[in-house]
């Protein structure tokens, strides 16, 4: 589990990458930072490794597509969980 300081640094790194229009870097930073946490959430929600892996793949695709339109109305962590949930 990340500390508050680590989460803050991750959020800032993603924001800086987005501000520089470096979408690939922003997405990679998000997946590397929050990916294990999101995958764990999906596994708990589904109870099946294969299902959680499939949903995680969809989450990553949605993240790549949606990141350029991120409006900053929440943290990237909250937004990531919302993507994974849907």
pLDDT in tens, 48-66: 999 999 999 999 999 999 9
Q: 86 versus 27: which is more confidently predicted? A: 27
Distance CA 65, CA 43 (A): 23
Q: 50 versus 1: which is more confidently predicted? A: 50
| pTM as predicted | 0.88
Which region, left, alpha or beta, applies to residue 74 given φ > 0 means left and ψ of -120 to 50 means alpha? beta
Evaluate the CA torsion angle 49, 41, 28, 18 in order and state its sign: positive
Q: In sequence order, what are the residues at sequence separation of 6 or more whose Cβ sits closer than 8 angstroms to the Cβ of residue 13? A: 29, 33
Distance CA 85, CA 46 (A): 11
């Amino acid at each position: 589990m990340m500390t508050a300081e680590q989460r803050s640094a991750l959020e800032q790194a993603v924001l800086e990458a987005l501000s520089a229009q470096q979408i690939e870097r922003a997405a990679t930073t998000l997946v590397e930072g929050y990916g294990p946490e999101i995958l764990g959430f999906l596994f708990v929600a589904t109870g099946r490794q294969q299902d959680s892996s499939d949903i995680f793949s969809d989450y990553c695709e949605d993240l790549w597509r949606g990141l350029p339109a991120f409006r900053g109305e929440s943290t990237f962590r909250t937004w990531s969980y919302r993507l994974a949930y849907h």
